[in-house]
Structures are given as C-alpha cells and as structure tokens.
Amino acid sequence: MLNDVLTPPAQRDALRDDSASEIPAAAAWTAPLLWQTGDSVVDLRESIRAKLTFALGRTPESARPRDWFAATALALRERIVAACMASEKAVPNKRVYYLSLEFLIGRLMSDAMNNLGLTETTRAALRELGVDLDAVQDAEPDAALGNGGLGRLAACFMDSMASIGIPAVGYGIRYDHGLFRQSFEDGWQREAPETWLAEGNPWEFVRPDASYTIGFGGTVTMSSPNEGVIRRHWQPAETVRAVAHDIPVVGWRGRHVNRLRLWKAEAGEPVDLARFNGGDHVGAVAARSRAEAISRVLYPSDSSAEGQELRLRQEYFFTSASLQDLIARHVNERGDVRSLPDHAAIQLNDTHPAIAVPELMRILMEDHDLSWEDAWHVTTNTLNYTNHTLMPEALETWPVELMERLLPRHMQIIYLINWMHLEEQAKHGRQDPAHQDAAYLASISLIDEAHGRRVRMGHLAFHGARRVNGVSALHTDLMRSTVFAHLHALDPDKIVNKTNGITFRRWLHNANPGLTRLAVETVGSGVLDDPALLRGLEAHAEDPAFVARYAAVRRQRKEALARLVAERTGTDIDPEALFDVQVKRIHEYKRQLLNVVETVALYQAIKAEPHRDWTPRVKIFAGKAAPSYVQAKLIIKLACDVARAVNDDPEVAGRLKVVFLPNYSVSLAETIIPGADLSEQISTAGMEASGTGNMKFALNGALTVGTLDGANIEIRDHVGADNIFIFGLDAAGVQAREAEPGYAARAIQASPRLAAALDMIASGRFSPGEPGRFRPLTDDLRRRDQYLLTADFDDYWRVQRSIDAAWRDPRGWWAKAIRNTARMAWFSSDRSMREYAEEIWRVRLS
Ligand SMILES: *Cc1c(COP(=O)(O)O)cnc(C)c1O
C-alpha cells in the first residue's frame, strides 16, 4: 500500500528509539506520558527544515504558522509512508472497503504525531527551530468533510481499523468546500463557504493513474451475441472522471497504515477547444464546471433527505468510482471477479452509497459477463449496510423519474431486483395468506408508490446486503420492529447490532492529555493500548489524593474552555460553576429547545427567589443548523437572545450564564468536551440512533443527563445507574404518548412552570424588538409538539435540580465522574471494529 510514492529517507530510522533523552525536562513535565519512538529530534528538525525550504520554497524567517504546519505535515507524512513500508506484507487475504459520503476527520496532525509516538519529538524539533507546536497545530484547517455523527463515526472507524490491523480503504468525496463556516449576526446563523483546501493539503497524494470514468444519463441498448441471451448496454450521454486523492491513515504505534481515498470530479476534456477558438470562452469550459460541481461542496443536510439532483450525482459518482477501483484491484490480484466475496467486504455507511447494489450488478454483468444469478450472488455476499436513522423524513428516497433520467440502466436493474423479490413473496403468499395482501407487498417493495413513485434506498440497501446493522441495541431492536419489520421476518439473521464507538486516541489521548497522563500514572502505560485497564481507576474514586488530581485536570480544562468562550463570544464564565454542555447538530429531535426552555424556567426561578443558594451554572451550546432548516435556526436565535437577557441581568449574576459558541467542529469539540461537567443527551427516546458525543463526554468524566435513547441506555448499563441522570419517557412511552391527541396542551396545563416559561418566550421578553419572533416555536409546542418536549419537561426539571444537589457534594460528584471514565472502555471504536470484523466482514486482523 502506498508503495508507489517516493522512498522516504528516514525509513531505516523509523523505529529507532533514541529520542527520549533529547526531550527537555520541561516538555516531559507538561506533556502526557505517552509513548515515544521514531526519529531523533535532530532528524525531524532537519526534515522539517528541508520541507520548508525545498517543498514550500520558504525561509524560516518568512514562514507563517501555516507554512510550518505544511512543512511539519510533509515531514510526518514521510514517516507514515515509512511506517507503512515497514509494515508492508503480502497482499492481505481480505480487505474492508468503507464507503461513506462523509468523513469528518478534523485535523490530522495530532493523530499522526500521537500514533507515530512523535508528539514530543515534534515539539522539541519545532522548538529548536524557534516555533511553537501548539501554534502550528492551530494553523491546520479542520477537514470538515461531514455534517456530524455519521461522518465522525467514519473517521473514528478509519483510525481504529488502522490501529487494530484491519486492512481497509475508506472511500469518499474530496469536497473543495466542507461543512459551511457558521457565524452569528445578532444571534442569527450565517453561513460562509469553508475553504480547507485554499492552501493545498499536505497530507494527500494525488493519483492521476487511479482515475475512472463515471457516466450519467443516455440510453440503454440491447444485443444478443449468443443465441437467446439478451445483453443490455448503457450508453451514457455524459461522462465525468473520478481522480483518486489518498490520505494515509496511520494506526496506533504506526503498526499499520490504511488509506482514505477521496474522489475528485474532473471533466473528460478540460476545455472544448473548437468552441474556445470560435470565441466562446465561457461555453468552452461549461462541461468542465458541470463535472467539477460534483465534488464542489458537501451537502449541509444533517439527516433529512436531500432532494437535489446534484446530490444523487455525488452519490453515484463516488460509489461507481469506488466499486470500479476495488474490482480492478481484486481482478489484478486474484484474476476472477467471482471470488470477490472471499476477499472484499464492502460497508455502506447509511444509504448514500446504496446505488452500489445495482451498480455492482451492472459492472459484473456488463464488464465481466456474469449471469444475473452469479452477479446477484457476488453482490449480496459482498455488500453490507449500516442504518443510521428510522425517522421517516430522513429515510432516503429518489423519484423514479429522476433515476430513469440520470441512471437509466440502474433503474432497470432495480425494477428487476424488485420484481424477483416481490414474485418470491407472492409465491410464498399463495401458501401463506398473511403475505398475500397488497399492503404487505407494498411495505416490502423497493418502490414506494404512495408518494409519487420513489425508490426506497433503505430497502434497496437492505435487500442487496448480506448483513444490515443498527448502531445501538435500542436502535437495532426498533429496526426489527418498525421500518424493516417485514423484511426482517424474511431473513431473521440479516439484522445485527453494532453499537457505535469512538477512538480513544483522539477523544482521550489527544483531547485530554492531562487525564491520559493521570491514567497512565495510576494504572500503567498499558492503558494506552488496552482501554479496559481504565477500570483500575475505579479503586481510586474516593481516594482524596487521586480525586484532587482528577479535579485539577478538569479545572485546567475548564479554564481553557473559559478562555475560548471569552475569546469567541466576549462572555466571561467562571470555572467554579457547573459547566452544563449541549454541543451537536441543531435538530428538533435532539431537543436543544427543551434545554433552552428549562434555562428560561431556571432564570424565572432564580429571579423569584434571588436569595436562595442556587448552584451556579453555565449553559454552553454549540452546533450548526442546516441552512434550510428554519425551525432549527430559530432555536439558535432563541438561545442567543436568552443568553443576552440572562447574561445582562445583574440579579442572576454568579448563578446563571448562557453562551453559544459559534462554528462547532471537531477541533472545538476537542476543547469543549474535556471541560464539561454535565453532558446533555436529551433526545426524544427512539429518535437518536446511537449518539457518539455522549460517549466522548462520559469518557472524559462529564456526567450525563439523558433520556433512555440510543447508546445512552448502554452507557447507563456500563457506568451504573447511580452515575448517570436519566429522565423522561422511554421509547415505548413515546410511542404510547404519540397516539394520544392533545397531549401537549394537557401537559402545559398541568405544569405551571412550563406554562410560565413558554409564556415568557411567547411574550417577546427575549425579543423586544420583534415580540412575535418565537411564536412559531411556542405555538408548535402548544399544538403539535412532535418531539414530546412538553411530556418530558417536568421530569427534566426535576432531574436538573437533583444535579444541582449532587454538585454541592463534591466528593460524591467526583466519585461518579471517575467511575464514568473508568467504565467507558467498551465504547472504544476498536471494540466496534472488532465486532464488525468478526461478525460482518469475516476478516482477519493482521
Ligand atoms: C461527535 C461529534 C458529533 C456527534 O455528536 P452527537 O452528540 O452524537 O450528535 C457531531 N459533530 C462533531 C464535530 C463531533 O465531534
């Protein structure tokens, strides 16, 4: 892998361990006690200097932090390639291909340094060049090639696969512009394009040799070369080229290197010379702009299906390029495409690559002459599908008419797959009357006929996959009992659960070096390799000396967070207060509004009894709303307006503050999460498939206030019910309540506190210039309240007050926090990946 790049000079030295003595004592004192290996400081320093001079053409005097970042990244990349070559073995027996429209990888330098054991060596090397590592790291733009949890999951999985030795390639799109940059203008979200590639990407290798033609539109013709067998051939009207850009992903201790292969769209011909010479300079490059538009921007839709043709073009573009690439590799290594299932496992991250089902069929039949039956066998033994949502509005469907126009051959294949699928059931149905009726067949059909004719991508992926997984125990149960119930009954072994995880290397080692160092000093450095050893911290949960150190780490992280808040919002917050944090995409089902309404109720309560001994709290929010999501943007505005009123009110000073940090990102999360005391995971039960933010917080010792939803349930099972604050309806309770019309009005009537908070918001108290501003929010709660905020409010208030009380008992609080850190090992994405490897992919770890 990656062996076609320039041979690195430092290869021989890659595993030499002579650096420790060169680390100045000061660095060893402030730095986490992580492992160190690799080059000497001198080697790395000279390597960085050479990159700056010869690759970037800069002198040290003129170099900006961004230049030092690029030079350092290039020097580290060279060492990743060296590690890769050192670990290079024979062709692996089986590879995993992880197809995802999103990879929310964030900054890569800390991953690379940490996994190569070069963090302190790099710090020392840069210091000798007169440069501060932290400033260099801050100059790296976040690779925000994803919206939220789904994309971040793909990034954690890439790190884990490389760390535990699963040979894998991640496939996605190299968007010119990742997730939009968020700013606030008087509390309203504004979006600006994100430009992570403005100065190039030092981590990537361009592979012009790995490029494929992707077709769109056109017609399908028939031929019958040998008697009776009809072959269909697709003649696309338009073609685009997909060019590979590889980012090496180095695993823990540099033992394995995988790659993330991102496709960039290019025109077949960059310019129509005849038109250009004829004077039409703009028209001559029109085809080029049309082609390049495919990899121009990440769609900023978090979970609702995107109804744009360009989105479907993106999905097909990256799926087709990835399948062509992996089949070419397979045929090159093994000769016969029929053995693909033995040597490749393809994972579809949500339905975005679900078009892989007909595309793989098409490639196998048209390019490799397989019969339908053989192609179906290969397809359904190679593909697997991860479902991420059961919410009807978020289940992806495409109009048949659009599919026929853009992908005519694929639509034919989908029709035939569906015909065979329904025919088989109709056959059973002739024996089993339960399976005869039209409603049953309509529920399992790949085509939804009820809302105009649309292809159900979830059903397509389900039917074409060998294994289908949910991402938490509850979510998987709901898959079996709701949306996929009938398909599940046809093949009861197909659905399996694979609870999500997070990579501890980023979310503990990198994000919280102080806590990592404390863990290493307490239970030994083996904890860096085996998070199960965190369990050893539990014995110290009530040991005053340990608690003091644990609390000191938190205090330091809270001070850092307070500095960030002051810098980005101008608001001073007191690290003595309870930091109550809700950071994630803004979505009605995630119920930031519940948190804001509770904030208003607390504000009223403090004002009513200003002399009571209130537990000081800072409510910290961050998160982006999809630009077209009007209600979510109004929730942001409300949070900002409440923040202003509360923070300006001297009567609640020292008791309550509210801040909204702009532009939530992976890097911001890495600063916020270790500084949190309380983690808000308050989605309507049954709606958050898993959540992974919940895991990051609990690992770092924030206590969770949460509903029995997604992985919160499993977190409770692991940390213990005494160490988490659970409230509200469970998923069954939600289902029951949804069936009662008028529940919201009754709930508000029964709760004077809720009614008063809603009245204050509706009165214009927070929006004096526009009193009716928030009526769309309050009216909706009074009438429909789809997310059952009113049903859970009183219990949420109750649990928040019990949290106030718990905070006033520091010994009890810290014991709970330490038990959270100690008991979260199971949520490592290394565990998730081992389970996928064993039960879905059937791949050996190397
Ligand atoms: C972990 C993470 C998420 C997912 O958070 P949830 O609370 O699970 O929705 C979203 N965005 C970023 C930047 C993250 O790091």
Which residue, judged by its Cα, is nearest atom 15 of ligand 1? 666
Q: Does ligand 1 lie within 6 Å of residue 820's CB atom?
A: no
Q: Which atom of ligand 1 is nearest to the CA of 590?
A: 9
Q: What's the 418 CA to ligand 1 centre distance in angstroms?
A: 36
Q: Which atom of ligand 1 is nearest to the CA of 149?
A: 4
Amino acid identity at 151: G
The whole-angstrom separation of Cα 41 and Cα 18 is 9
pLDDT digits (tens, 9 = 90+) for 771-792: 999 999 999 999 999 999 999 9
Q: Which of 107, 111, 389, 583 to mutate to test the pocket of ligand 1 (most atoms within 8 A of CB)?
A: 583
| Structural tokens at position 371 | 């019969």
pLDDT for 431: 63
**CATH fold label, 149-500+834-841:** Rossmann fold (3.40.50)
Known catalytic residues are: 388, 584-585, 590, 692, 696
Half-sphere exposure of 451 (CA within 13 A, CB side): 10
Q: What's the 117 CA to ligand 1 centre distance in angstroms?
A: 27
More confident: 224 or 808: 808
DSSP state, 318?
Answer: H
Q: Does ligand 1 lie within 6 Å of residue 623's CB atom?
A: no
529 φ/ψ angles, rounded to the nearest 5 degrees: -95, -30
The CA-CA-CA angle for residues 11, 12, 15, to 5°, reads 90
Q: Does ligand 1 lie within 6 Å of residue 343's CB atom?
A: no
The predicted model gives 90-97 an average pLDDT of 92
Torsion 179-181-185-187 (CA) sign: positive
Sort 92 into a burial class: Cβ within 10 Å, 0-12 / 13-18 / 19+: middle
**15 contacts: CB under 8 Å, gap ≥ 6:** 37, 38, 86, 254
Q: What's the 149 CA to ligand 1 centre distance in angstroms?
A: 5
pLDDT level of residue 33 (50, 70, 90 thresholds): very low
Q: Does ligand 1 lie within 6 Å of residue 678's CB atom?
A: no
3-class DSSP string for 417-479: HHHHHHHHHHHHHHHCHHHCCHHHHHHHCCEECECECEEEHHHHHHHHCCEEEECCHHHHHHH
pLDDT digits (tens, 9 = 90+) for 631-644: 999 999 999 999 99
pLDDT level of residue 435 (50, 70, 90 thresholds): low
Q: What's the 636 CA to ligand 1 centre distance in angstroms?
A: 17
**369 contacts: CB under 8 Å, gap ≥ 6:** none
Quick check: 63 and 52 in contact, CB under 8 A?
Answer: yes
Q: Which of 692, 707, 714, 832 to mutate to test the pocket of ligand 1 (most atoms within 8 A of CB)?
A: 692
192 φ/ψ angles, rounded to the nearest 5 degrees: -130, 150
User: pTM of the entire structure?
Assistant: 0.94
- All CATH 3.40.50.2000 domain ranges of the chain, comma separated, are 149-500+834-841, 575-809
The length of the chain, given as a count of residues: 846
The predicted model gives 1-15 an average pLDDT of 32
Sort 315 into a burial class: Cβ within 10 Å, 0-12 / 13-18 / 19+: buried
pLDDT for 303: 78
**269 contacts: CB under 8 Å, gap ≥ 6:** 287, 288
Quick check: 47 and 122 in contact, CB under 8 A?
Answer: no
Q: Which residues pair with 463 in a beta bridge?
A: none
Residue 196 in 3-state DSSP?
coil
pLDDT digits (tens, 9 = 90+) for 565-610: 999 999 999 999 999 999 999 999 999 999 999 999 999 999 999 9
| Structural tokens at position 702 | 């924030």
Q: Which atom of ligand 1 is nearest to the CA of 681?
A: 7
Q: Does ligand 1 lie within 6 Å of residue 728's CB atom?
A: no
The answer to whether residue 101 scores a pLDDT higher than 50 is yes
Q: Does ligand 1 lie within 6 Å of residue 144's CB atom?
A: no
The answer to whether residue 229 scores a pLDDT higher than 80 is no
pLDDT for 429: 66
Quick check: 331 and 300 in contact, CB under 8 A?
Answer: no
Residue 241 in 3-state DSSP?
strand
Q: What's the 693 CA to ligand 1 centre distance in angstroms?
A: 5
Residue 384 in 3-state DSSP?
strand
Q: Does ligand 1 lie within 6 Å of residue 506's CB atom?
A: no
The answer to whether residue 7 scores a pLDDT higher than 80 is no
Q: Which of 105, 500, 506, 585 to mutate to test the pocket of ligand 1 (most atoms within 8 A of CB)?
A: 585
The predicted model gives 805-833 an average pLDDT of 98
Residue 160's nearest CA partner among 205, 214, 207, 115 is 115
Which residue, judged by its Cα, is nearest atom 4 of ligand 1? 149
pLDDT level of residue 307 (50, 70, 90 thresholds): confident
The CA-CA-CA angle for residues 392, 397, 401, to 5°, reads 145
pLDDT for 87: 61
Quick check: 578 and 676 in contact, CB under 8 A?
Answer: no
The answer to whether residue 289 scores a pLDDT higher than 50 is yes
pLDDT for 434: 64
The answer to whether residue 754 scores a pLDDT higher than 90 is yes
The answer to whether residue 737 scores a pLDDT higher than 50 is yes
User: 124-133, 210-219, 298-307, 567-576: lowest mean pLDDT where?
Assistant: 298-307
Q: What's the 426 CA to ligand 1 centre distance in angstroms?
A: 44
Q: Does ligand 1 lie within 6 Å of residue 692's CB atom?
A: yes
pLDDT for 37: 61
Q: Which atom of ligand 1 is nearest to the CA of 666?
A: 13
Residue 50's nearest CA partner among 72, 77, 83 is 72
Q: What's the 758 CA to ligand 1 centre distance in angstroms?
A: 29
pLDDT for 35: 53
Q: Does ligand 1 lie within 6 Å of residue 673's CB atom?
A: no
Q: Does ligand 1 lie within 6 Å of residue 151's CB atom?
A: no
Q: Which residues pair with 725 in a beta bridge?
A: 705
The predicted model gives 733-755 an average pLDDT of 95
| Structural tokens at position 121 | 């060596």
Residue 726 in 3-state DSSP?
strand
Which residue, judged by its Cα, is nearest atom 3 of ligand 1? 149
Quick check: 841 and 347 in contact, CB under 8 A?
Answer: yes
Whole-number Cα distances in Å, 38 to 63, 79, 132, 271: 26, 9, 20, 47
**744 contacts: CB under 8 Å, gap ≥ 6:** 781, 782, 783, 784, 785, 790, 791
pLDDT for 22: 37
DSSP state, 393?
Answer: G
Torsion 397-211-96-379 (CA) sign: positive
| Structural tokens at position 423 | 């025919």
The whole-angstrom separation of Cα 608 and Cα 596 is 18
Q: What's the 289 CA to ligand 1 centre distance in angstroms?
A: 33
Q: What's the 270 CA to ligand 1 centre distance in angstroms?
A: 39
Q: What's the 201 CA to ligand 1 centre distance in angstroms?
A: 24
432 φ/ψ angles, rounded to the nearest 5 degrees: -115, 105
Quick check: 679 and 668 in contact, CB under 8 A?
Answer: no
Residue 603 in 3-state DSSP?
helix
Place of tokens 């361009």: 206
| Structural tokens at position 760 | 């204050």
Q: Which of 150, 584, 590, 672 to mutate to test the pocket of ligand 1 (most atoms within 8 A of CB)?
A: 584
Q: Does ligand 1 lie within 6 Å of residue 148's CB atom?
A: yes
The predicted model gives 89-100 an average pLDDT of 92
Which residue, judged by its Cα, is nearest atom 1 of ligand 1? 693
Residue 659 in 3-state DSSP?
strand
CATH 3.40.50.2000 for the 575-809 domain, yes or no: yes
The answer to whether residue 317 scores a pLDDT higher than 80 is yes
What rounded mean pLDDT belongs to the chain? 93
Q: Which atom of ligand 1 is nearest to the CA of 583?
A: 7
Quick check: 189 and 633 in contact, CB under 8 A?
Answer: yes
Q: Which atom of ligand 1 is nearest to the CA of 665?
A: 13
The whole-angstrom separation of Cα 204 and Cα 249 is 10
| Structural tokens at position 400 | 């048949």
Which residue, judged by its Cα, is nearest atom 7 of ligand 1? 693
Q: Does ligand 1 lie within 6 Å of residue 8's CB atom?
A: no
Q: Does ligand 1 lie within 6 Å of residue 693's CB atom?
A: yes
Strand residues in 547-655 grouped as ranges (E)? 578-583, 617-622
